[in-house]
């Protein structure tokens, strides 16, 4: 009876009710998508790197080291000598290391010089290893492995020859065009900066710079690709390296040891700590977004409450008829409350559906522009919790018009002629 | 809107003040007030459908915001004694503001008197809890308003079944069909939404609803004011006839309230509310 009355009463006022539902659905979709993107971005961000115990670079800022070693942003102020790297890598308890050598680029994508260990030990997300979409790791000096986005955006195929540029300029004046690289592998998309990186061997990195000094070609000296292979291609320096331990308990001890390393000024950071520190810098924006979304939601809920309150005076006779036929004041309270909850319920369902659609459309765009892999299923995160909170908040807000209706049905009699 | 409503109310009370004062003066002069014993033996044994004793009602104002204590303004109703025997049809006359709406609200148990008792049948309605009062109303009263009688978005059947639903009584489809036939309505309007009906049809459906559960008392509050002169007498005839057609045992009493004295002749008994109400300032 109660449900039937509430249902038909809402159908009877379908224009206002539909508009209210639309306003709730839209604001909910906005609020939840902000929340969803925020969470996904945070997840994607903090899971850029996993399984690595320490990141080691030349002494500079912690955030700076993190930015250039993991996110390929900015530049290193200094390098680590190959000797120091070797010394630390051979410490007891060190399970693996991945040297990183940065500085060159290809069409504004960074080139990373590393070893094959990169494909064996580098982990991201939930300790996932990199996987090849096509081909395999680099084997010879002039091989290159492309990140998913690089291959995709530039349309490169296996076996294609590409030329790397020196430095980071979009259109570099200095090309390493005497030593072209062959694509031997393309990685699967990870949603991390790996997708935007070209990977070559340290030897390859050394080879293209063999006739260079201090960042410029040595005048008159030209060593072609074939002769370069005959030279010693052991690097002098690397930019940074990632390090994994046999036992995590060692982490802090080794970190202190590296930070106090006498040979040269080094800095070791814990990637998890640095990542959350970096995320906190963006935290203010994130909080403002969440606040705006919450306020939009609140405004639409208040709008609905106002709508219900406004219709009460129109419904005075209707309530009188119900009271006359035996409805209690409590019944009137429940009727108004139920009507609001029904509106909210439908609004929430529409809102989540809208969010879902929105995510399906936004997912490829966000992946393209920001390299953040969103899960298109918004229901998987703790959105159920937010929906529950909204529902509870609504039932509280609904008490206002319901209480008015209740008071009205008690104090105003059935026979009241104005 | 609120302010104008209050103004009207104040004006009405003002008018009432002088009217009731006049009647009390008359009353005092002619018949010295005698002490009416509270619920004497006779009133307990005598069969009544409404029995009012010592009733007094006044609107109240809050002493201050948030305070639970309420101050009575001046009394609107003061009815020492009034009884209606079962099966009678009563015409209650009174101009607007004379307190008849308040009296109806008290009889139907929506408002509570500050003093005195109202007994419907054997049940003194101020003795029971509000929720029981609502249930009692669903079982024992049939109420017809002047115009807005039906929930517009419910079907005619659902409208008629409202009190049956609230009282938890069993549904009797045959009775509904019988009443529909007797009131000259076709069966196929039963599934229609109430707001698709004409005013005349709506009032007939209201009569069906009032009769359907065989209440002790039917309260009709100016049910004819929305009808034109021709259909007005027809409607009252219909209401009274249909009530008489019920088995004598189950025949309801009718309390018909109007400010239109020309309708009075249809009823067994005519009462001016000013004769009942002794309220003074």
Task: For B91-143, give the DSSP string.
Answer: EEE--TTSSHHHHHHHHTTSS--SEEEEEETTEEGGGS-HHHHHHHHHHHEEE
Among B101, B111, B163, beta carbon nearest to A325: B163
Q: How confident is the model at residue B24 (pLDDT cuts 50, 70, 90)?
A: very low
CATH code, B262: 3.40.50.300
Average pLDDT over residues A253-263: 91
Taking an 8 Å cut-off on Cβ atoms, the answer to whether A328 and B137 are in contact is no
Taking an 8 Å cut-off on Cβ atoms, the answer to whether B105 and A417 are in contact is no
Average pLDDT over residues A99-109: 88
Q: What does the pLDDT read at residue B40?
A: 47
The residues pairing with A145 across neighbouring beta strands, listed in sequence order, are A185, A199
Q: What does the pLDDT read at residue A342?
A: 94
A-chain residues within 8 Å CB-CB of B8?
418
pLDDT in tens, A274-286: 888 888 887 788 8
Q: Nearest-CA neighbor of B113 among B77, B62, B71? A: B77
User: At residue B156, what are phi and psi to the nearest 5 degrees?
Assistant: -60, -45
On whether the CB atoms of residues B62 and B70 are closer than 8 A, the answer is: yes
Rounded to whole angstroms, how far apart are CA atoms B132 and A104?
86
Taking an 8 Å cut-off on Cβ atoms, the answer to whether B102 and A12 are in contact is no
| Residue A299, pLDDT above cutoff 50 | yes
Average pLDDT over residues A197-226: 81
Q: Nearest-CA neighbor of B47 among B219, B249, B214, B241? A: B249
Q: What does the pLDDT read at residue A55?
A: 94
Q: What does the pLDDT read at residue B1?
A: 40
The residue ranges of every structural domain in chain A are 2-45+282-411, 54-269
**Mean pLDDT, chain A, integer:** 87
State the first-to-last Cα distance of chain A, in angstroms, to the nearest integer: 30
In a domain, B281, yes or no: no
Q: What chain A residue is nearest to B143 in terms of C-alpha separation?
A: A324
Taking an 8 Å cut-off on Cβ atoms, the answer to whether A325 and B138 are in contact is yes
The residues pairing with A268 across neighbouring beta strands, listed in sequence order, are A56
Rounded to whole angstroms, how far apart are CA atoms A187 and A144?
11
| Residue A205, pLDDT above cutoff 70 | yes
Tally of domains in chain B: 1
Q: What does the pLDDT read at residue B32?
A: 43
Q: How confident is the model at residue A332 (pLDDT cuts 50, 70, 90)?
A: very high
Between A39 and B44, the higher pLDDT residue:
A39
In a domain, B18, yes or no: yes
Rounded to whole angstroms, how far apart are CA atoms B100 and B223?
14
Q: What does the pLDDT read at residue B61?
A: 67
E strand intervals along B210-268: 217-221, 253-258
Q: What does the pLDDT read at residue A275?
A: 86
Among A326, A417, A418, beta carbon nearest to B135: A326
| Residue B36, pLDDT above cutoff 60 | no
CB pairs under 8 A between A and B: 89
Average pLDDT over residues B54-66: 73
In a domain, B20, yes or no: yes
Taking an 8 Å cut-off on Cβ atoms, the answer to whether B145 and A325 are in contact is no
ipTM of the complex model = 0.79
Residues of A308-333 as b/e, b for ≥16 C-beta within 10 angstroms?
Answer: beebbeebebbbbbbbbbbbbbebbb
Reported as type and span, the H/E element at residue A217 is strand A216-217
Substitution target in A325, A331, A412 with the highest count of B β-carbons within 10 Å is A325
On whether the CB atoms of residues B72 and B62 are closer than 8 A, the answer is: no
Average pLDDT over residues B160-186: 90
Give residue A359's Cα distance to chain centre. Answer: 14
CA A309 to chain B, closest CA, distance in angstroms equals: 15
Taking an 8 Å cut-off on Cβ atoms, the answer to whether B153 and A328 are in contact is no
Rounded to whole angstroms, how far apart are CA atoms A130 and A192?
11
Q: What does the pLDDT read at residue B5?
A: 47
| Residue A80, pLDDT above cutoff 60 | yes
Q: How far is CA A352 from CA A37, A289, A386, B44, in A?
A: 14, 19, 11, 65
Average pLDDT over residues B8-22: 48
């Amino acid at each position: 009876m109660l449900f039937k009355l509430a249902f038909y009463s809402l159908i009877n006022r379908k224009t206002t009710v539909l508009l209210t539902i639309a306003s709730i659905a839209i604001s909910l979709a906005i609020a939840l998508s902000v929340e969803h993107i925020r969470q996904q971005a945070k997840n994607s961000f903090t899971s850029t790197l996993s399984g690595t115990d320490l990141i080691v670079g030349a002494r500079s800022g912690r955030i700076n080291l993190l930015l250039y070693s993991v996110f390929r942003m900015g530049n290193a102020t200094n390098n680590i000598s190959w000797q120091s790297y070797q010394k630390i890598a051979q410490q007891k308890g060190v399970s693996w290391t991945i040297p990183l050598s940065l500085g060159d680029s290809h069409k504004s994508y960074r080139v990373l010089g590393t070893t094959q260990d990169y494909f064996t030990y580098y982990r991201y997300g939930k300790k996932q290893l990199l996987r090849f979409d096509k081909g395999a790791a680099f084997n010879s000096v002039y091989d290159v492995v492309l990140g998913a986005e690089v291959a995709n955006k530039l349309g490169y195929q296996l076996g294609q020859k590409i030329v790397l540029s020196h430095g980071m300029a979009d259109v570099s004046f200095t090309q390493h065009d005497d030593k072209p690289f062959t694509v031997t592998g393309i990685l699967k998309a990870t949603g991390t900066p790996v997708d935007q990186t070209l990977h070559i061997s340290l030897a390859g990195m050394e080879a293209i710079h063999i006739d260079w000094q201090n960042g410029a070609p040595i005048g008159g000296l030209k060593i072609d690709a074939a002769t370069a292979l005959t030279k010693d291609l052991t690097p002098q320096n690397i930019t940074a390296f990632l390090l994994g331990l046999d036992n995590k308990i060692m982490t802090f001890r080794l970190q202190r040891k590296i930070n106090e390393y006498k040979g040269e000024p080094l800095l070791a950071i814990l990637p998890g700590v640095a990542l959350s520190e970096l995320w906190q810098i963006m935290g203010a924006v994130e909080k403002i977004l969440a606040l705006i979304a919450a306020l939009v939601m609140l405004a639409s809920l208040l709008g609905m409450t106002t709508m219900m309150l406004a219709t009460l005076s129109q419904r005075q006779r209707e309530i009188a008829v119900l009271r006359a036929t035996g409805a209690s004041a409590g019944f009137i309270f429940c009727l108004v409350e139920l009507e609001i909850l029904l509106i909210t319920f439908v609004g929430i369902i529409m809102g989540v559906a809208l969010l879902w659609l929105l995510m399906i459309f936004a997912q490829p765009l966000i992946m393209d522009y920001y390299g953040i892999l969103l899960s298109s299923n918004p229901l998987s995160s703790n959105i159920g919790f937010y929906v529950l909170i909204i529902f509870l908040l609504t039932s509280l807000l609904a008490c206002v018009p319901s209480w008015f209706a209740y008071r009205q049905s008690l104090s105003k009699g059935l026979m009241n002629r104005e | 809107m609120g302010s104008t409503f209050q103004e009207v109310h104040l004006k009405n009370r003002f008018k009432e003040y002088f009217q009731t004062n006049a009647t009390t003066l008359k009353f005092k002069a002619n018949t010295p007030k005698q002490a009416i014993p509270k619920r004497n033996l006779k009133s307990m044994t005598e069969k009544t459908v409404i029995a009012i004793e010592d009733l007094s009602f006044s609107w109240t104002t809050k002493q201050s915001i948030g305070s639970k204590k309420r101050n009575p303004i001046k009394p609107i109703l003061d009815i020492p004694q009034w009884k209606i025997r079962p099966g009678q049809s009563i015409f209650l006359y009174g101009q607007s503001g004379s307190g008849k709406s308040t009296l109806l609200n008290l009889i139907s148990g929506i408002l509570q008197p500050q003093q005195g008792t109202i007994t419907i049948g054997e049940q003194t309605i101020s003795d029971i809890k509000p929720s029981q009062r609502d249930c009692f109303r669903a079982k024992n009263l049939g109420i017809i308003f002047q115009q807005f009688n039906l929930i517009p978005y419910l079907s005619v059947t659902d409208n008629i079944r409202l009190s049956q639903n609230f009282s938890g009584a069993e549904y009797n489809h045959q009775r509904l069909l019988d009443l529909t036939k007797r009131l000259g309505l076709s069966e196929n309007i039963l599934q229609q939404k109430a707001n698709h009906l004409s005013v005349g049809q709506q009032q007939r459906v209201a009569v069906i609803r009032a009769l359907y559960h065989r209440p002790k008392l039917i309260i009709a509050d100016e049910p004819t004011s929305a009808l034109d002169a021709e259909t007005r007498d027809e409607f009252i005839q219909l209401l009274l006839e249909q009530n008489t057609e019920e088995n004598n045992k189950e025949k309801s009493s009718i309390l018909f309230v109007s400010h239109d004295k020309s309708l009075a002749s249809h009823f067994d008994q005519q009462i001016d509310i000013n004769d009942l109400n002794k309220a003074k300032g």
